[in-house]
Amino acid sequence: MITAMISRDEKDIPPATLAGIRAGGIEIRCRNCRTAGELVDFARDADLVWLDGTVPALNADSVSQLPRCRALFRSGSGIDSLPLARAAELGIKVYNTPESISEAVAEHSVALLFALARKIVCFDRLVRDGGWETPKGAVPHHLNGRTLGLVGYGNIARIVERLVSGFQMTVIHHDPQSAASVPLDELLERSDFVSLHCPLTAQTAKLIDRQKLNLMKPDALLINTSRGSVIDEAALIEALEHGRIGGAALDVTECEPPSPDNRLLQLPNVIITPHIAAFSVDFEKNFFESSFRKLLEIRDIISNNNSRRLQNEQTEKGL
């Protein structure tokens, strides 16, 4: 199986990982492809295209020019930047490794919740500016006995639920794939804290819009470690400025990085981190271990599919 890694040069992959991949019978080539033309030339004969992060060069047009491609593999979780519709039309399977970042993203989600609820950043700024007395209206939230609503109930959300279990919060969730799902409107009305963990799709784009924000409690807190476009950012800014919700903690924004004049940056009841929820000292280790396992899994799938295809062709020919 020929694999084209299109987002990293070979020097950016641990030698032990490359050696293991090649020992597994996978021919791997690596280049950080900047343009669609470069990508097509580099990956034209590849069975598998492997990437991490966002690669603008991989789009509906360029993937159409990869005649041997059988699979796209994005290390990590989100696949919204991939040309999914065109890949489906071409019979190209799409794979990812959400397990490589689930724990880290869940931990960051909980950290944002706690920092926002307990006003950690607010009080840190207060002391650095020479203050000490708690300003009027800056009273932290209590966690015990509150309701946490999870929008999306995949691996990350389930870990969040486990991590907060010691705080005796009521945890509810909305996810069409879950039998215990509650309607989204009900979740927003009931929750003191809302944490977003859904993928970005046509159905979830601007899912949290003005109407949904108006359903939330006036002191409710919103946490987002999924994708920025799951929230209607203009509506969120309006809700925060007019006190219709209590605050927001965001690891993702609609445009990344946000422009310097983005009003979110001026609001005292907002915490923003630079899309780093997945990163930790263990990130590279988890990233490459999970990627290696997935590459071997894809190798076996492609090999089995090729064997079945050959058998079918021989049967059709009467061999």
Residue length, the chain? Answer: 319
For the domain made up of 2-98+281-316, give the CATH fold. Answer: Rossmann fold (3.40.50)
309 confidence band (pLDDT: 50, 70, 90): low
Mean pLDDT along residues 135-139: 79
Mean pLDDT along residues 117-133: 94
138 confidence band (pLDDT: 50, 70, 90): confident
User: Residue 152 has what pLDDT?
Assistant: 98
315 confidence band (pLDDT: 50, 70, 90): low
| pLDDT for residue 17 is more than 60 | yes
254 vs 191: CA distance, rounded Å: 24
68 vs 60: CA distance, rounded Å: 15
Domains 2-98+281-316 and 102-272 share a fold: yes
Alpha carbon 234 to its chain's center? 21
- Out of 8, 118, 275, 289, the active site residue is 275
Q: What's this model's pTM, rounded to 2 decimal places?
A: 0.89
86 confidence band (pLDDT: 50, 70, 90): very high
The amino acid at residue 296 is L
User: Residue 316 has what pLDDT?
Assistant: 61
- Out of 70, 227, 244, 299, the active site residue is 227
The domains of the chain are located at 2-98+281-316, 102-272
Per residue in 282-297, pLDDT (tens digit) is 999 999 999 999 999 9
| pLDDT for residue 306 is more than 80 | no
| Least confidently predicted of 10-24, 125-139, 143-157, 190-204 | 125-139
The amino acid at residue 41 is D
238 vs 247: CA distance, rounded Å: 12
311 confidence band (pLDDT: 50, 70, 90): low
| pLDDT for residue 8 is more than 80 | yes
Mean pLDDT along residues 239-265: 97
User: Residue 95 has what pLDDT?
Assistant: 97
| pLDDT for residue 319 is more than 60 | no
Mean pLDDT along residues 206-220: 98
Check if 227 is active-site.
yes
Check if 44 is active-site.
no
Q: What average pLDDT does the structure give for the chain?
A: 95
Q: What is the residue-wise DSSP string for the chain?
A: -EEEE-SS-GGGS-HHHHHHHHHTT-EEEE----SHHHHHHHHTT-SEEEEES--TT-SHHHHTT-TT--EEEEESS--TTS-HHHHHHTT-EEEE-GGGTHHHHHHHHHHHHHHHHTTHHHHHHHHHTT--SPPTT-PPPP-TT-EEEEES-SHHHHHHHHHTGGGT-EEEEE-TT-TT---HHHHHHH-SEEEE-----TTTTT-B-HHHHHHS-TT-EEEE-S-GGGB-HHHHHHHHHTTSSSEEEES--SSSSPPTT-GGGG-TTEEE--S-TT-STTHHHHHHHHHHHHHHHHHHHHHHHHHHHHHHHHHHTT-
| pLDDT for residue 92 is more than 80 | yes
71 confidence band (pLDDT: 50, 70, 90): very high
Q: State the distance between the two ends of the chain, measured CA to CA, in whole angstroms.
A: 26
317 confidence band (pLDDT: 50, 70, 90): low
Check if 103 is active-site.
no
For residues 66 and 49, the answer to whether their CB atoms sit within 8 Å is: yes
Which residues on adjacent β-strands are paired with residue 133?
none
The CA-atom distances, in angstroms, between 190 and each of 109, 119, 212, 235 are 20, 22, 12, 20
- Out of 241, 256, 297, 313, the active site residue is 256
For the domain made up of 102-272, give the CATH fold. Answer: Rossmann fold (3.40.50)
For residues 195 and 109, the answer to whether their CB atoms sit within 8 Å is: yes
Task: Specify the pairing of strand 193-196 against strand 221-224.
Answer: parallel
